[in-house]
Structure 1
Amino acid sequence: MKKLIPAYVRVPVLFALVVMALEYFIDSGDKPAFIKYPMVSVFLFVFLFLQIAIEIVISAIDRVTYAMLTDEQKERLAAAETSFSIKNSKLYKMLTRSKSIEREGEIMMDHDYDGIKELDNVLPPWWVGLFYATIIFGLIYLVRFHIIGDYDQKQEFEMEMAEAKKAVDAYKSTAKDLIDAESVTLLTEGADLAQGKTIFENTCAACHRADGGGSIGPNLTDKYWILGGGIKNVFHTISEGGRDGKGMVAWKATLRPNEIQRVASYVLSLQGTNPADAKEPEGEIWVDENAEATDADAGETTDAVEESEQTEETSDVAEGTPEVAAN
């Protein structure tokens, strides 16, 4: 029995939909799910096998059922299948405006080429409508970009690049594994420092001691730094390593950026703890220039406020002196 959608279309389409659904719902990273997870391949093989088996069984049932029909029933079935065909549907006729075979004489052209005649079919309405739509689009484009003078391709490119840069910056601000020495910030939450402590004890304590007092490596609890203090410098030192030939190794291949951020924040939390038998200071005292500038600005503001208050008090005293003299 004739089906609206043949088996050679149903089977591949349904199988492709199942494959796409598995790829969408299974997180397999940069590899397809059926390659990364062998059980997915087994499932797809079984599913395809069942599809083909079901189609074979349905086809066999249809053939047996058709063989059991009488001649009259077969004729009625053929007529029903013909009446329900796509070419006889109203939608198909509306989209194509084609004439049936019985009415081809109405559009037959007069000329004859060795018995070959030509039909004067009209263009499909959907094609004509699409053609007019392209003309309207072209006119709008002409007026907008060549007469009014809207943005050109260079400006469009620059706008899209600016939007893309904003999207990338927004993503980097929330993606912990894209932190670098320029964007890193100091963590102060207890949970972050606890994780940093665990990393420090597993990777750094062998050279700096568990309390940060220093052994092979320098003391991390005083104000002296060999390669600079502050979260940015400490992050860079841990990530890229210390001095060539005599500094610590680079940990960027072992630790993720967010882990380096936590351990760097924990190292800075050890400042001023003064552990027993700490190693002698190495390097120079590091002072945050940005903090100094902020403090200096705050000091200047405070001095200006105090000076203003003193000026007002002096002015009040000066205004009150004649009254005292008059009294």
Structure 2
Amino acid sequence: MKRSFQSTVYIIFVIVTFIALAKSFMVYENPFNLYENPLVWLALIGFILVLVLKEVVNTLAVKRATELQNEKDGIVPEASNVWIQKLLKSWTKAKGIEQEEEIVLDHNYDGIKELDNSLPPWWVYMFYATIIFAVVYLVRFEVLDGDNQIVEYDKAVAEAKAELNKYRATATDLITSDNVVLLTDAKDLGRGKAIFNLNCASCHLGDGGGSIGPNLTDEYWILGGGIKNVFNTIHNGGRDGKGMIAWDKTLKSADIAKVASYVISLQGTTPAVAKAPQGEKWSAE
């Protein structure tokens, strides 16, 4: 009775959980996207783990019950891990306890004796492998004068830069300080304002008047004004050792262009508290 009740509860749990997961998957446009919907994946993994653990517990319980019944009936089952023991023995060549008298060394110190076991084959093979590696390494880098790690690194960096330049030359949607343009669309500026309030207002204030960072509403710029300079400053950061961090690892290039355009739109506005001008007066060429 108890077992049938547990089975019924388990079946109901599986069915209800499966239906709930199926409905939750239907809510999202891309339910299997791990980055967009991590909770869906966590629920799915948790559900699978419950099923697996249930089967593991059942298997262990059946195995334990069989062992107890065999013990009660006086049945001694054959060891199931004989092959493991044979494998370990072949890879260690260690003598068993009953054979240790054959390999006891003659010297005795305070009643302590030492066994003369052979080295494990796996250890010997690894030692031979290190010798072969050393010979190959010696010939490769000392005799044949192969590239060392520094030369290989420089070549890899040069290849990566060449690939990056090739990508930049062919990518049509890649925004850099060379091809960025001032955005004036209300939707783009709205996105730029949202990014500014989230990441920049803590140092420049919400109206751009400046606090820790400089005033963004006047004509003076530390690293140059204009959309290209502002984009480059946000992308690569301010002056070394001080100033703003680089945001290229946090923001996409398109978002940097939008927030840079929003910063430019603050020119000529009147903040509540304006910080004193910093840098040099900027005039577009």
TM interval, shorter chain, is: 0.3 to 0.5
Q: Between Structure 1 and Structure 2, which shows a larger proportion of helix residues?
A: 1
Q: TM-score, normalised by structure 2?
A: 0.46
